[in-house]
Structure formats: C-alpha cells, structure tokens
Structure 1
Amino acid sequence: MSNESNPVADVSEDLSNGGQGTTPAPKISVSKDTRRRVVTASFIGNFVEWFDYAVYGYLAGIISTVFFPESDRQTALLATFGVFAISFFVRPIGGFIWGHIGDRIGRKQALSLSILLMSVATFCIALIPGYATIGVMAPILLLLVRVVQGFSAAGEYAGASAFLVEYAPAHRRGLYAAVVPASTAAGLLLGSLLAALLTSVMSAEQLNEWGWRLPFLLAAPMGLIGRYIRTKLEDTPAFRELAETDHAVKAPAFAMFRTYRKQLVIATGAVLLNAVGFYVILSYMPTYLSEELGFGAAESFLATTIALASYIGFIFLTGIASDRFGRKKMLIIAAVLFSVLTVPAFMLLDSGSFAVIVFVQILLGGMLTLNDGTLPSFLAELFPTKVRYTGFAVSFNLSNALFGGTAPFMATLLIGMTHNQLAPGWYLVAASLVSLIAVLFAAETSRKPLQQD
C-alpha cells in the first residue's frame, strides 16, 4: 500500500520533519526514522490489542448461545454482556499497575508486556469448550480469560498515547496521538469484517459449533508480531531524561493523588463520552441492529464496517483540528453535538432503510471522532511526565470500567426495563452532559509545554 493511502505512513511521513512549538527542544534528539517506527509500532500494537478485545463484542450473540444455558434471548445476551462488563472492573486496578510500571520502569516495558498478555488471553477463548460440553465451567473460564484481557487493555491505550505524545513535535501532538484511536478503530474494523464474512459464508450451525472461534485464533501470531516490533524501540525522550536525572517517582499513584487530584477528576469526567460512545456506537451497534431492530446479522456488520472505515479517516482530521484550535474547544463541540443529535439519530435507525442506517452510523462515528481524536493528547498533556502514564491510565480505565464496559449491558437492560428502543441514545446523552461539565473546568493544554515534574 502506498503512503498516499496509508494513514500510518501519512502521519509518520508528515510529522517526522520536526516542529516549532512551545515545548523546549528535548536533550535527546529524535530522528525522522525513529518517529516513523514509533508511529508504526504504536498503530500495530494498539490495533492488535483492540482487535482481540472487540471480537468478543461483535460475536456476543453467538457467544451467548455457546457459553450460557438455554434461556430467553435477552437473558442470554445480558449474561454475555455481563461478562463483558465484569472484565472492565479489573481495569482500574490494571491502570494503577501499568501506570506504575510505565512511570517507574518505562513506557516500552509496559507496552511490550501488555500486548503479550492480551494475545494469550484472547487465544485461550478459542480453546474453551462450550456450556453443552463442560457446563458451568464454560462461563467461569470465559470470565477468567476476559478478566485477563481487561487487565491487559488497562495499560494499552494510555501507554500508547503517552508514548506518541512524548515523541511528537510540539505542534503536532494532537495528530500523533490520534494514531491511537485510529488503530483502535482499525482493530474493530478487522473484527467487523471477519464477523460479516463469517456470518455471510457460514450457516448458523457452523458458526455456533466452530466458526466463531476463528477470529480468536488469530490473536497469537498477531500478538507476537506486535510485541516484536515494540521491543525494537527505545523509550521516549521525555522518560529517558526523567530517568537520567533520577526524577522518576518511586510511587507514581501516591504522587498523583497528592498533587494532581483536580486533573484526575477532570480527566475521569472527560473520558465518559468516549467510554459510553465508543462501546455503544462502534461495538454494541451490530447487536442493537440485529437483536432490537430486526436487521440481518450480515447487514448489521456491514453497516458498522462502513462507519468504522469513515471513522478512521475522520480521526486524523480531528487530530489536526485539535492542534490548530485547541483540545478544550474540540471536546466541548463533541459533547454539545451528542447532547442534541443522539436521540434523533437513534430514531432514524428504525427507518428500515439500510442507507439511512449507514448514514446515521457515519454521523455518530464522525461526532465521536471529535472527542476520540482529541482525548488522547488532552489526557497526556494534563499530567506531567513523572505521573503521565498513571494519571492517564487510572482516569481512562476508571471511567471505562464504570460506564464503558457496562454500556452494552446497560443499553440492553434499559431497553428491557423501559421497552423503549431509544434508551441507548438517552444513555449516551447523559454521558455527553457529564463530559461537557468536566471539560468546562479544564484548562487548555495544547499550546503549553509538556510538564516534566
């Protein structure tokens, strides 16, 4: 693929030319080739992590019939999404541990280990027998593996964002950090494509018996490739300077709570729209379309696939816009748009038209990029180098644990309780309002030097 059609190559080539910004030049020089490899490694590693993590959500309908006893459809789905949500509760713990490793030992070490854990856990899902074979042990083993996945994912998004921001030219930190949500969406895109392919070429019996296991088997080779690339990189200039001057703190979490409590609260609130929006729009939507609105599984996956492809393109434009106009302004615009347009968009989904569904998903995905393309650089800039990984990881994972991982479960539960198919839309509106309030209390971060101490 040529650089003209490859977003990773575009960012890497465009941003490897240095930058004139407010951040003083680092003592450790960074070559053009090094920046290119950093962008590529961050994209591939995060892509692998979120492909592994997302496949479960896309195949939730099938997994519910394999790992849980026969019951009514909604109860089985709630059980499946319940396992999805429970695995998120370990993420704040993972945020503290990965943050400690990343701020104390190095970003590189944390990222290399997290991708290995994720790949092994995902591969194991493919090997677990179903409920018909081993009974209640099937959902128990599934839950244990999902907990390992959740623990691993806790260090990935924050670590990759910090890694890119600390390598980026000062005036391009937003665009560099946009690689993280773009790679996340690319992982989702591959998962959606595989799910659409499997549901198109296989019968329901084949999918339930063995077909659903195929995407999980890809985790091992993909994870080994991602880990290998990451081990070939040096740690960021900002962290190496911190380590060389012996300013790395021994207990980053204590330092964060002692000095940066306000930033932590703001960050946790700002993440809420990303947490709910990401999992409702990009992960739960195929299940919503097929289970609640009655669309075919292949049609639902195809619509989400088209929306994901457009999302990846929009995300880089948002990164550029956040560098030009500021992080705070972009986050406010995203929250306001979701507050006003989400429920009308969900009303259009019930039109019965495939073209309308694709349009609505592209619209919602484009709105989400205004938040997602800005958030990684905003959170990384909010905390100083010595607690950057910890502050980002704890706030991001706390909000995702409470509201992101539970979003598919809450959407399904709210529909069941209210008998209103617009319930997920109203839930997303509530999340956007909380994020709006948090961002209003934040200071602009894009035009300030990265804090060291």
Structure 2
Amino acid sequence: MTSKKHSEFKTLSLCSLGGAFEYYDFSLFALMAPVIGQHFFNESIPSIALMKTFGIFAAGYFARFLGGFYFSHLGDTTGRKSPFMITLFLMAIPTLGIAILPTYEQIGILAPLILLLLRIAQGFALGGEAPCAMAFIHEYASKNKKCFAMGLLFGGILFGSFFASLIYTFLNTLIPKAMFDDWGWRIPFAVGGILGIIGVYLRKNLKESNEFIHCKKSNLLLKVPFLKIFQKHLSKIFIGIIFLLPSSTAFLYYLLISSKTLETEYHFDPKFIKEVTTLGFFLNAIFGIFFGYLSDKFTAKKIYILGIISLCILSSVSHFILSMGSDTIFLLFIMLLSINLGACVGSVFHILTMMFPIQIRTSSLALALNTTNGLFIGITPLLLSNIASFTNNNALPGFYILTLCLLSLVIIIKFNKKYL
C-alpha cells in the first residue's frame, strides 16, 4: 500500500514538474513582451511594437488549436503517455531558439518571422500538454484524491509561471536595466529550454493509466474521437469553456499583462508591480493545491462557486481599489485575487474532466481548453488594451471579467450533479 502511494505521488509530481517547465516557457513571452517588442520590431512608438508583440503572443495561443487536435487524438487513440514526451521537447527547443535569436537590427524582417514560428511551435506543444496531462492524472489518481491530483497538476503549472516571474524579477534587480534590455532578457529563455530538456528525461519512465489500458483491451477506443464529440458532446464543450473563462481571463489580465497599465494609469512602481505579481503566482499555485484538497472533502462544485462569487466581488471593485494608488492595498488585492483564483483552479479542472468519458476525454479537454485559451484568452491582450485605449476607461476590463463570472455562476448552480 505504501509503495503504491509512493508510486502515485511520484507520478503526479513528475507530471506537475513537466507542466511547470512548459508553462514557465510559455509565460516568459508575456512577461517579456515590452523588451521583445524593442528588439524584434522596427517601431519608433513603443506601444505599437508592444501591440505587435501581443499579436505574436496571440499566435501562440491560436496554434494551440492544431496542437490540441493532434496530440489529443494521439492521447485518445494510442495512449496519454507519448504526447507527454513530445510536447515537452517541442516546448524546450523553441524556447532555446528565442534565447539565441538575432534581433531585427541584426537580420531585419527575418527576426519577427522566426520569432512568430517559434511562438507557434510553443503553442502547438502546449495545446497537447494540458489535455493529456489532465486525462492521465485524473485516471491515475485514487478515487478520493482526484481533485487534489488536478490541483497538484495545475499548481505545478502555476509554479512554472511563478518561477518565470521570479527569474524575471531577480534579473531586473541584479542586472542594470540597460544591460537587461540589451542581452539579459535572453537568460530566462535559455534556462527554460534547459529545464524542458531535463523534464523530458524525467518523464521517460511514466506508465500508461490503468483506465486507458482497460478501455483499450475492451476494444472501446474510437478511431476518430472528435466525431463523437460533435455528434453528442458539443454542448458540454461550450459549458466547459464558460466555466474556464472567468479565472483564465482574470489570471491573464491581473497577473500577466496589466503591468504597463498599472505603471502608466495607476502609477505604481514597476519594480513593486513585478514583486507583487510574483507573489501572486506563488499564492495561486499553493492555494490551487490547497483548494484541490478541499474539493475532495466538500465537492468541487461548492469550491468553484465560492471562487467565482469571490472573483465577482474582486473584479467589480478592482478599478476603484487600484485607483487608490496605495501599495499596501494593491498588495492585499493581488493576494486575495490569487487565493481566490486558487479556488477556481483547485475545482474547475476536476469538473471539466468528469464531464467526458474516457474514449473522448483528451480530445474533449483539448477542444474546451484550447478554444478558451486560443480563441478567447489569445485575443484578450489586444481586446483589453484596445478597450482601455479607445474608451479611456480602465474600469471596463474588470466589468468584462465580472460578466464572465456571472454567466458561469448561473450555469454551475444548475449543473448536473453527476459530473461533480
């Protein structure tokens, strides 16, 4: 029994660690958007260069559709394990590529074109990582620990974002700004690529989930899982997207892309913003695991409702709170928001996974996750930056998130209990 528990914990930890490496790589691009814009676009106006960088950021998200389709098909037809190895490798190599990529000044238009291709490769890999990991971990974990297992997976993924932010903040403190903007920004990408290659090695001994093996031996696998989804499960895909959108959008806006707005519109110190958002990543990861544990005790539905109601309140008052300009209140806001997002993370992915049978689970998760991230979250930086620019109203992003929260709250309250 002890050996089985040790094996389960080791497997879950390796999956979480691999996810952390991948999301470290993917999050770096958002954090580095301003300095990347300076090096890879020939624009005299920084805001235009930043907008083009966000365009490449969005391209990475759109590529998740293709990656999700390809790797989830493999996951449902050949097994969950093999996509694990490929996706992590495909994330590591482009990240190393960004670390050594010549700038626009050195090779001209080729620089942004190659950057775009590398970002697409990252998105392609990430599109298959999370769905396969979710299906594998959910099937591998004990019956009374499935929410905790999902919390551990996404806690690990969030630790990847935390580590990216930590490295970014540390280097900005250690290296003079001119030096960091010149070449220091390449260091985090080099670190990410090396960590990804290490992750491939660590994952090589993972074994296939018993549920999938049983399904395969019983000849229950489908040749084209996506056809089954479009025939019978499309409505659940839309519901899953609605469940994912509020916390995903809030995480992206408040912790990843709002630093420029916080600096220019709310007048917070850039260094302080980096430190606070880094703490936010850490709290989000810790409480994602904690609320995963609580979801096993009190049901995922209750924890999710708690998280969404809290997010409703925080998003509706965010502009007022940030407008106060108080460092202490800003810090408390980010801490509360990150803890609250942990409640969503620790519950929503179990709900989503339980909605679909084993034969189409990876493909369904890929479609829901990558539509959420590829279509909606991918355009969020462009959408919110344009809203703020054209309307001169910095309160609108908070109300946009509030609307998403209310929509998901209405549906989860009425949602069929058998999935929870």
User: Shared fold (TM-score greater than 0.5)?
Assistant: yes
Mapping for residues 327-406 of structure 1, pairs under 5 Å: 327-406=300-379
Distance 1:303 1:234, change over 3 A: same
- Tell me which of 202, 206, 210 is aligned to 1:229: 202
Check the 8 A contact 2:267/2:325 in 1, yes or no. no
Could you report, residue by residue, the CA deviation over 1:131-159 in whole angstroms, capped at 9, with x for unpaired residues? 22222222221111111111111111222
Between 420-429 and 179-188, the greater mean CA deviation after superposition:
420-429
Measure the CA separation in 2 of the matches of 1:445 and 1:153: 30
- Tell me which of 35, 38, 43 is aligned to 2:11: 38
| Deviation (angstroms), 1:308 | 1.8
Measure the CA separation in 2 of the matches of 1:61 and 1:295: 17
Check the 8 A contact 1:186/1:308 in 2, yes or no. yes
- Tell me which of 80, 87, 96 is aligned to 2:69: 96
Identical aligned residues as a percent: 28
Measure the CA separation in 1 of the matches of 2:96 and 2:407: 37
Q: Does 1:322 align with 2:291?
A: no
Check the 8 A contact 1:60/1:287 in 2, yes or no. no
Measure the CA separation in 2 of the matches of 1:444 and 1:98: 30
- Tell me which of 219, 235, 238 is aligned to 1:265: 238
Measure the CA separation in 1 of the matches of 2:103 and 2:31: 18
Check the 8 A contact 1:58/1:287 in 2, yes or no. no
User: Which residue of 1 is the match for residue 31 of structure 2?
Assistant: 58
Distance 1:380 1:417, change over 3 A: same
Check the 8 A contact 2:32/2:185 in 1, yes or no. yes
User: SS at 1:220's partner residue?
Assistant: helix
Q: Which runs of 5+ in 2 are unaligned?
A: none
Distance 1:319 1:433, change over 3 A: same
| Deviation (angstroms), 1:222 | 0.8
| Deviation (angstroms), 1:221 | 2.0
Check the 8 A contact 1:90/1:147 in 2, yes or no. yes
- For this pair of structures, how many residues does the alignment match? 420
Measure the CA separation in 1 of the matches of 2:270 and 2:167: 12
Amino acid at match of 1:247: L
User: Which residue of 2 is the match for residue 3 of structure 1?
Assistant: none
Measure the CA separation in 2 of the matches of 1:360 and 1:203: 29
Amino acid at match of 2:64: R
Measure the CA separation in 2 of the matches of 1:327 and 1:270: 12
Between 160-169 and 318-327, the greater mean CA deviation after superposition:
318-327
Check the 8 A contact 1:120/1:219 in 2, yes or no. no
Measure the CA separation in 2 of the matches of 1:206 and 1:280: 28
Measure the CA separation in 2 of the matches of 1:42 and 1:444: 28
Measure the CA separation in 2 of the matches of 1:339 and 1:164: 30
| Deviation (angstroms), 1:312 | 2.1
| Deviation (angstroms), 1:353 | 2.4
Could you report, residue by residue, the CA deviation over 1:6-39 in whole angstroms, capped at 9, with x for unpaired residues? xxxxxxxxxx86xxxxxxxxxxxx9223202211
Mapping for residues 30-179 of structure 1, pairs under 5 Å: 31-179=4-152
Measure the CA separation in 1 of the matches of 2:323 and 2:167: 25
User: SS at 1:117's partner residue?
Assistant: helix
Check the 8 A contact 1:112/1:227 in 2, yes or no. yes
| Deviation (angstroms), 1:445 | 4.5
User: SS at 1:373's partner residue?
Assistant: helix
Q: Which runs of 5+ in 1 are unaligned?
A: 1-15, 18-29, 448-453
Could you report, residue by residue, the CA deviation over 1:103-155 in whole angstroms, capped at 9, with x for unpaired residues? 11111101111111011111111122112222222222111111111111111
Between 123-132 and 282-291, the greater mean CA deviation after superposition:
282-291
Check the 8 A contact 2:87/2:129 in 1, yes or no. yes
Measure the CA separation in 2 of the matches of 1:65 and 1:217: 19
Mapping for residues 184-333 of structure 1, pairs under 5 Å: 184-333=157-306
Could you report, residue by residue, the CA deviation over 1:245-277 in whole angstroms, capped at 9, with x for unpaired residues? 221111111122222222222112211113312
Distance 1:264 1:434, change over 3 A: same
| Deviation (angstroms), 1:305 | 1.3
Measure the CA separation in 2 of the matches of 1:41 and 1:158: 16
When the two structures are superposed, what TM-score results if normalisation uses the length of structure 2?
A: 0.95
| Deviation (angstroms), 1:46 | 0.4
User: Which residue of 2 is the match for residue 420 of structure 1?
Assistant: 393
Measure the CA separation in 1 of the matches of 2:11 and 2:19: 12
When the two structures are superposed, what TM-score results if normalisation uses the length of structure 1?
A: 0.88
Amino acid at match of 2:416: A
Measure the CA separation in 2 of the matches of 1:434 and 1:145: 36
Cα RMSD between the aligned structures? 1.8
User: SS at 2:185's partner residue?
Assistant: helix
Between 82-91 and 105-114, the greater mean CA deviation after superposition:
82-91
User: Which residue of 2 is the match for residue 5 of structure 1?
Assistant: none
| Deviation (angstroms), 1:385 | 0.7
Could you report, residue by residue, the CA deviation over 1:211-258 in whole angstroms, capped at 9, with x for unpaired residues? 111100112321122111212010111111111222111111112222
Measure the CA separation in 1 of the matches of 2:23 and 2:211: 26
Distance 1:376 1:47, change over 3 A: same
Could you report, residue by residue, the CA deviation over 1:364-400 in whole angstroms, capped at 9, with x for unpaired residues? 1122122111122111111111111111111111011
| Deviation (angstroms), 1:75 | 1.9
| Deviation (angstroms), 1:291 | 4.3
Amino acid at match of 2:187: L
User: SS at 1:232's partner residue?
Assistant: coil
Could you report, residue by residue, the CA deviation over 1:254-303 in whole angstroms, capped at 9, with x for unpaired residues? 12222222222211221111331221133224343234433333221101
| Deviation (angstroms), 1:446 | 5.8
Amino acid at match of 1:47: A
